[in-house]
Structure 1
Amino acid sequence: MLQIMGVYITRLRELSYFFCLMALLLGCESKQVVFPEGFQIHSDFRLQLVAAEPLLFDPVDLQFDEEGRTFVLEMPEYPNRDADSRLVELFDSDKDGVYDGRQVLDGKLGIASSFIPYKKGFLVASPPFLLWNSDTDGDGIIDSHQKLMDGFSTGNLQHNFNGLNYGLDNWIYAANGGNSGEPFFVGHSEEAIDLRGGDFKFDPERKRLVRIGESSGGFKLTFDDWGRMYETHNLEHVSQLVFQDRYLEGLPLASPHALANISDHEDHGLARIYPIGEQDTRVNHPEQAGYFSGACGITHYGGGAFPMAYNNSLLVADCVLNLVHIDALSNDGGAMKASRIIDKAEFLASNDRSFRPVNMSVGPDGALYVIDMHREVIEHPEWIPDELEVAMDLEAGKDKGRIYKITPKDEWSPITFDLDLSDTPSLVSAMGSANQWIRLTAQRLLVTNKITSAIPLLFEALNKSNNPLGRLHLYWTLEGLGALESPQLKMALRDSIPEIRENAIKIAERYLNSENEMVEDIITLTKDSDAKVRLRAALALGTLEDKIYHENGAAILEALSRMVSVMPNDEWATKAIAATMQRQALPFSLSILEQNKGQVTGVRLSILAMLADKMAKEGDLDALTTLVLVCHERKIQATSQTVLIEAMVKGWEKRTETERFSTDPTKLL
């Protein structure tokens, strides 16, 4: 009772202060929203301050649970580790859209910088641990602290693992952040994985942990409506993990990953941005003035409330230059492309040098929430020259923090939703929402709570659905519940929407080694009209077990030979095809040479070089000899033959000294 009264009194005091503040800002007789001073935002949007000190301090992450409640992670220990992160719930008691109360749920979260709601609690990224904290007695205070994982590194706080996201495939994803580590589920240290600078995903129920691919090393990752993953870090404001590293295993590549900078507006490797007011820059890199240097908080807008031109967009903050940038996403072969929407201006900018947008969140209402840590100095002292640091107050702003809400300027009303766990039909229905958060939250609730009673309703909805995004979530929810059946999966592989076919191939990978008829379906999809579907089909064929692969070897060889013959230059399809054809390196190489008598360039030459490197590394001199002879017989141009010989030399040099001297390479002569 004393605890509850203490919270109530604290909230009364804060409410009193907050209403006095709002009275000063808005006037006693007006509830009209006043545009915050010192900001510029695109004319199609409205900016509103919805939380500020003393209600909020040092915010770095914001999440909503299925009831629409708002939770914020505060990080007062940055950068000196002199306090603990706090998980706070914010309240809007009078429902006017402005927060007026707070309650600390958990004040001892170490150096946490990311969290998400999960079941009846929260997953919290607090190195060296991943925590699952919950309120078991319903009093509003976290009282259960469970360490799910251990082994994350605890270096520079800027580089903690972060960006927890529930993925479309029902795994939970996280950004490496740069500190890496060798994480493992508690009690299973023998299964630790070396992150090696990579991002990862995990399944808390099955205790599975997988490195997925090269990390940008930045703060946060995000997914678009179709499950494609994007990252950010300082100078490189938008990267895409086109596909996971596992597909490239065994393929000799200088950079064996598929993380790509997808910005189309770079200037000598940097993206120009447009701050307002007096420009700052990173104190250790003055040459970066006017360009991205503190990119963070990348967020996909899938809220369903913004004007059409801003849907399916990526927002990236620069916490050094006090702004939020926006890019439109479009197809670019096997990858995506990020293009500036607003010419020579930013989506949101401030002349307040203490405005530090570090993160963003799209709410169930369709609004965009911008998280302002509000510090005079945002750079970690590790990166500040000593002679400059002595004149700086690294503590300035620790008693501040702001949240801004961005909505369309005209004709906007909050999106409504009903995600009642006891109302299964409403959860199934929610998958038809225009709001990405609502769709994904409904899916998460059904899958993580194992609501199998929803399965008949999911099948019924699937058979009736005319909503592509709704169908997408229905398929993945059925897969997450272990209920997706072969007829429905085959239906997805033939869907009229290419993004659904693309996702169906991802699901089908799990069944290919037991259903040969489905392998034939994937082979057929290598002829698809959509580049990403063809890419995904080529990757999937590379996941087949040896026995199944070789049983279908002739069909795979024919299909990918045909794919190469009509394929435009595409780095990702090139790597995918080479990776899948490693097990038929010589026959596939000869097929390419047969198609291109005398002229082998571009993607075809790239594939031949990768496979020549592979054959040389394996010491297959007979195959290399055949390749050289056929190149000579086909009168392949000398420059291309030189490229292939150089690839063979590289591959040969990768062999151990014993391996090199056990075989006579002069046979090639």
Structure 2
Amino acid sequence: MNTVSLAFAFCVLFQDAPGPDLVKAIELQRGGRHWIDQPTDPPKSPEESQACLQIEPGFKIQLVACEPIVRDPVAIDFDHKGRMFVVEYGDYPVGPKDPNEPPLSQVVLLEDENADGKMDKRTVYAPHLKFCHSLLAFRDGVLACTETQIMYLADTDGDNVADVREVWFDGFTPAHPQMQIGCPRYGFDNWIYLTYGHGKVRCTRPGFETTEPVDIPRVDFRFHPESMKFEAIAGAGQFGNTIDNFGHRFFSSNRNPIMTDVLSMDLVQKNPFAGVSVGHTDVGPSGEKTRVYPIVTMKSNWLSHAGTHTSACGVTAYRGGLFGAESDTSVFVCEPVGHLVTRSVIEPMGGTVTARRARETADFLASSDTWFRPVSLATGPDGALYLADMYRLWVEHPKFVPDDVAAKMDWRAGEDKGRIWRIVPEKVSDVKPFVSPTTTEDLVKMLGDGNGWRRMLAQRLLVEGKRVDAEKSLRSAVRNSQFPVGGGLFFRTPLHALWTLNGLNLLNAEDLQAATSMTIDGGWIGTLNRDAVKLIRMEHSGNKDLQANVSLQMRGPNGETRMQAILAYDWSNPQIDQRLLGIAGSCCDDIWLQRALLIAAPNRAADFAAAVVDQSRRDSSTAAIRADFLRQLALNVAVRGDVDQLKKLASIVGESPESGLWWQTAIVIGLADGLPRCQNAEVPKSLAAFLQTPPATLKDSVAPIEKVVQLASETAVNKTHTDVDRIAAMGLMSHLPPEALTSALETLLTPGESTDCQRAAIDAARRSGRAELSEIVLAKWDQMNPQSRSAALDLLLLRKESITLLLQKMAAGTISSSVVSIDQRLILLQHPDETIRTTSTALFGGTVSANRKEVADQYAKALDMKGDMIRGAAVFAKTCSKCHRINNVGHNVGPDISDTRARARDALLYDVLDPNRRVDPQFTEYIVVTTDGRLFNGLMIAESTDSVTLRQPEGREQTIPRSEIEDLKTTNKSLMPEGIERDVTVEQMADVLEFLKGRS
């Protein structure tokens, strides 16, 4: 819901020139100032608001509840009786005015007593829940998520008021009221999944208490309601979490409308050399690539994100079965700042799924009523889609708005209002009412219902009630699943029957054997295959009889099933089916299938490499993707040090390179990267040592590798070869004997060499970790191409010793201090070493002028100048593109600024001059100092118990093992430094404005 601050953004767009006091004008235009004093429409009646809604053809929207029956609704769920429970988020955004007052959020029960389709009775089920924003109907009550807790609320005396208020989990740490533990959903595997589980968490449910808190990182969370086992899971959800008809879990954050978890945390951490830092991914477009089509102007704070998602939330997979052919795969996302709801269609893509817009140039639902704030949805027992409309004037949080603007805003405007809407197909006149099942037979039958909400309810009630008398019917559904007799009802039943048996602890190997006896691409049975294979891995991994079926599914057409089969197969079996070793050839173009192979079978990496090379001989159209896969495979071979696999890899390298030298080089680079971490004591720990004194068993195998290394060494410095070949060859240079890289560096850092080759040489020096190479770079400074010096500075700024040498040359005037960019300057001015900080301050005079008004007055001149678009594009490429991307130029490191054309000019200028005034937590800079003295700065995009991953300017990702970290801290600032005026003249500013204003 909050829009991302422009903490990183330099690139700006101005409208009309301001008056003489630019700072005052900027203040009026920044961070909501461009609309805070504009008149706002008054709230509309429910009938008037309904008239403002435009919905996708074929659907209609009906009012279910409004004030005074409901207010501030943000979450809806239905219990096993079909009753509607609603969370009213009265605490949003900052809690009660008087801190001594009780919390304002609560759970209410809404009932339709006269059966006219509208709620007419309201009962406060559970009042005074601190910042409660989500719930799950569960057992005889609800699970409710508050600011730091998960609570179970239940009514035991029949008055529809919860007299049981148990805290089941405590210790969660919220980031803000939009990002806290929440959105509980019951999964197919009978676990309960939630978003943002960060904190030091303890189970406090009576009878299941844990004494020591578990440290959960900034990822998602799940627990098992029977055992109360809990754990961190892959994911980065904010407000939005859903399970679709096929068991996919989707979650959202403000700029990422649909994400999914592909690999569990245990798999991500299983092989630290698989190159996998996170187990989740975007499903379809995110950030600047998303598209929304509001029918009224969006009023966000300081980044409008015009035409894209800025407050994506409430992601919901529709499961009601009423919406037609695409209903099984439709996912809806709320966009409250845009007053709309989008619809996407989920489609398979390799080992995971992707999403496409259902309508190219219009959204599923949009309103011209600026108080309409859709925040979440839910499938109902009747198959309809229900929408929670918070109906507030503002949904931004004050944390993301400047203080003076926040002081003017009535944050609680609309707190006495709220609407709930029902969406059904236009031709549906009467929806069959829900009748709560009572018998086991009724529940089993409901597992095949056309409404997914009912199917999941039936599964949950069977498991909750320990209905073991359903065993025969459930087992029959699973074992006969591969021989359908027709009808969608039959197809739906086996998938839920499988997980119900599992939840009742009745699932056996024969059930899984039957569920995996055939391969089907997609659909209900394809999903059954996938989940059965997953259960084989989780609970029957040692069953040799099931491995044949796993092998069968690995060769099948369904990408998700193949990935689960890769993970479930016993790759240590010496009698392995040789056909399976070729699986990598058909997986080599999908990154998630690649990762599955690296996680599951590092012991077969050389065999997989052979399959990739064989496939590439026939088709090398995706050489870049395959080269990285080959490098990772070779790295894993080197790390393990298995002699047979090393021999296999060497023989592959020795094969004729008719398909190109790229794959040979990729393999040797992978070997060189992995050998320093080799786990076989008999194998030398560097490529040079490996080639010079290989183990006796490998003496006859190194010749092909030596040949590639020699060829690479010669190619790198030979100008008769193409730059493409020379740059590829430089990838090996950091692993060659010191004199080879020294010679190459001295040769390439001379006039007449291309910038790309020079930068490749500098990059090789950086990757080698050899501090003495910095002296060569400094000595060759005047001979380097100007465009190469930025890469050279990145190298020099890695170590204290080279920084000291650089500053000495600058102080002596040998190297101009003006070549140091603003972001590099900031590194020096914030360096842990006091001498470096002092010297840098003397050289650069501090980061910026302390008088921001003086700077603002200086840049006001740019507003009246006629800029040049071409020159502006060049300034953007030089100054901004390390962290921002526009028109396919640059890197997506900082906040998305693709919408600058719609941004108020003065507002953005102020953000440029004061980038640290408001910084979204996800764009906060971290600084890491390693035990060997290297310094890295960037955004923390992933962390685990073993490592942290930073995203640096130019999109580089640096994963640093925690064992090598001496110091890790946040600056609490943007990666974009203050003082852009040191690098950009007033004239250049005018050019950039022209570029941003006129670009297509």
TM-score (norm 1): 0.86
Aligned partner of 2:473: which letter? L
1:469 aligns with 2:492: yes
1:141 aligns with 2:161: yes
Does the C-alpha gap of structure 1 residues 280 and 25 become closer, same or farther in structure 2, counting only changes over 3 Å? closer
8 Å CA contact retained: 1:175, 1:221: yes
Superposition deviation, residue 534 in structure 1:
1.3
Aligned partner of 2:289: which letter? L
1:344 aligns with 2:361: yes
**Deviation per CA, 1:195-230, whole angstroms, max 9, x where unpaired?**
322222210211211322132x32121121110111
**Deviation per CA, 1:234-290, whole angstroms, max 9, x where unpaired?**
1121222223232232143555223222226x6x8421110012x11431212x112
**Deviation per CA, 1:25-46, whole angstroms, max 9, x where unpaired?**
88xxxxxxx9812111112111
Q: Distance in 1 between matches of 2:666 and 2:538?
A: 37
Query: Which sits farther off after the overlay, 526-535 or 402-411?
Result: 526-535
Local SS of the residue matching 1:577: helix
Q: Give matches, 1:605-620, under 5 Å.
A: 605-617=627-639, 620=641
Does the C-alpha gap of structure 1 residues 137 and 533 become closer, same or farther in structure 2, counting only changes over 3 Å? same
Q: Distance in 1 between matches of 2:243 and 2:137?
A: 17
Partner residue in 2 for 1:38: 52
Aligned partner of 1:184: which letter? R
Partner residue in 2 for 1:383: 400
Larger helix share, 1 or 2: 2
8 Å CA contact retained: 1:302, 1:311: yes
Partner residue in 1 for 2:222: 201
1:272 aligns with 2:291: yes
Partner residue in 2 for 1:439: 455
Query: Which sits farther off after the overlay, 452-461 or 206-215?
Result: 452-461
8 Å CA contact retained: 1:284, 1:385: no
Q: Distance in 2 between matches of 1:500 and 1:598?
A: 34
8 Å CA contact retained: 1:616, 1:651: yes
Local SS of the residue matching 1:576: helix
Q: Distance in 2 between matches of 1:103 and 1:329?
A: 38
Q: Pick one of 293, 297, 309 that aligns with 2:310.
A: 293
Local SS of the residue matching 1:337: strand
Does the C-alpha gap of structure 1 residues 301 and 660 become closer, same or farther in structure 2, counting only changes over 3 Å? farther
Aligned partner of 1:399: which letter? D
Superposition deviation, residue 654 in structure 1:
6.8
Aligned partner of 1:394: which letter? W
8 Å CA contact retained: 1:35, 1:48: no
Aligned partner of 1:530: which letter? N
Partner residue in 1 for 2:242: 222
Does the C-alpha gap of structure 1 residues 449 and 192 become closer, same or farther in structure 2, counting only changes over 3 Å? farther
Q: Which runs of 5+ in 1 are unaligned?
A: 1-23, 27-33
Local SS of the residue matching 1:390: helix
1:480 aligns with 2:500: no
Partner residue in 1 for 2:666: 643
Identical-pair percentage: 29
Q: Distance in 1 between matches of 2:347 and 2:554?
A: 22
8 Å CA contact retained: 2:634, 2:649: no
Q: Distance in 1 between matches of 2:631 and 2:288?
A: 27
Aligned partner of 1:644: which letter? I
Superposition deviation, residue 157 in structure 1:
0.9
1:304 aligns with 2:314: no
Does the C-alpha gap of structure 1 residues 522 and 363 become closer, same or farther in structure 2, counting only changes over 3 Å? same
Aligned partner of 2:451: which letter? N
Partner residue in 2 for 1:668: 690
Is the radius of gyration larger for structure 1 or structure 2? 2
Superposition deviation, residue 380 in structure 1:
1.2
Does the C-alpha gap of structure 1 residues 136 and 655 become closer, same or farther in structure 2, counting only changes over 3 Å? farther
Aligned partner of 1:272: which letter? R
Partner residue in 2 for 1:30: none
**Deviation per CA, 1:461-493, whole angstroms, max 9, x where unpaired?**
555975111111112111111112332221111
Partner residue in 2 for 1:257: 278
Local SS of the residue matching 1:328: strand
Query: Which sits farther off after the overlay, 426-435 or 246-255?
Result: 246-255
Superposition deviation, residue 510 in structure 1:
3.2
Q: Pick one of 62, 83, 88 that aligns with 1:48.
A: 62
Partner residue in 2 for 1:31: none
Q: Pick one of 554, 559, 574 that aligns with 1:526.
A: 554
Superposition deviation, residue 631 in structure 1:
4.5
Partner residue in 2 for 1:504: 532
Partner residue in 2 for 1:494: 517
Superposition deviation, residue 393 in structure 1:
1.5
Aligned partner of 1:441: which letter? L
Query: Which sits farther off after the overlay, 114-123 or 642-651?
Result: 642-651
Does the C-alpha gap of structure 1 residues 149 and 143 become closer, same or farther in structure 2, counting only changes over 3 Å? same
Q: Distance in 1 between matches of 2:555 and 2:399?
A: 52
Q: Which runs of 5+ in 2 are unaligned?
A: 1-44, 97-102, 692-1000
Q: Pick one of 99, 105, 113 that aligns with 2:119.
A: 99
Superposition deviation, residue 435 in structure 1:
0.2
- Higher RCO (CA < 8 A, seq sep 6+): 2
Aligned partner of 2:84: which letter? T
Query: Which sits farther off after the overlay, 633-642 or 406-415?
Result: 633-642
8 Å CA contact retained: 2:145, 2:182: yes
Does the C-alpha gap of structure 1 residues 318 and 254 become closer, same or farther in structure 2, counting only changes over 3 Å? farther
Aligned partner of 2:201: which letter? P
Q: Distance in 2 between matches of 1:431 and 1:504?
A: 17
8 Å CA contact retained: 1:239, 1:260: yes
Q: Distance in 1 between matches of 2:133 and 2:601?
A: 42
Superposition deviation, residue 660 in structure 1:
14
8 Å CA contact retained: 1:418, 1:427: no
Q: Give matches, 1:80-229, under 5 Å.
A: 80-82=94-96, 83-176=103-196, 180-186=198-204, 189=210, 192-215=213-236, 217-229=237-249
8 Å CA contact retained: 1:621, 1:665: no
Superposition deviation, residue 183 in structure 1:
2.2
Local SS of the residue matching 1:60: strand
What is the total number of aligned residue pairs between the two structures?
620
**Deviation per CA, 1:300-323, whole angstroms, max 9, x where unpaired?**
111011132444200001011010
Does the C-alpha gap of structure 1 residues 385 and 635 become closer, same or farther in structure 2, counting only changes over 3 Å? farther
Superposition deviation, residue 120 in structure 1:
1.4
8 Å CA contact retained: 2:199, 2:216: yes
Q: CA-atom RMSD, angstroms?
A: 2.9
Local SS of the residue matching 1:522: helix
Q: Distance in 1 between matches of 2:556 and 2:71?
A: 52
Larger strand share, 1 or 2: 1
8 Å CA contact retained: 2:180, 2:238: no
Query: Which sits farther off after the overlay, 87-96 or 462-471?
Result: 462-471
Local SS of the residue matching 1:395: coil
Local SS of the residue matching 1:339: strand
Local SS of the residue matching 1:458: helix
Does the C-alpha gap of structure 1 residues 58 and 661 become closer, same or farther in structure 2, counting only changes over 3 Å? farther
TM-score (norm 2): 0.58
Aligned partner of 2:53: which letter? F
Aligned partner of 1:538: which letter? I
Q: Distance in 2 between matches of 1:377 and 1:194?
A: 35
8 Å CA contact retained: 1:224, 1:312: yes
Aligned partner of 1:489: which letter? L
Q: Distance in 2 between matches of 1:118 and 1:524?
A: 38
**Deviation per CA, 1:412-444, whole angstroms, max 9, x where unpaired?**
4314443334x2211111111100000000110
Superposition deviation, residue 617 in structure 1:
4.7
Local SS of the residue matching 1:307: coil
Q: Distance in 1 between matches of 2:410 and 2:353?
A: 42
Q: Give matches, 1:330-479, under 5 Å.
A: 330-421=347-438, 423-460=439-476, 463=480, 466=485, 467-479=490-502
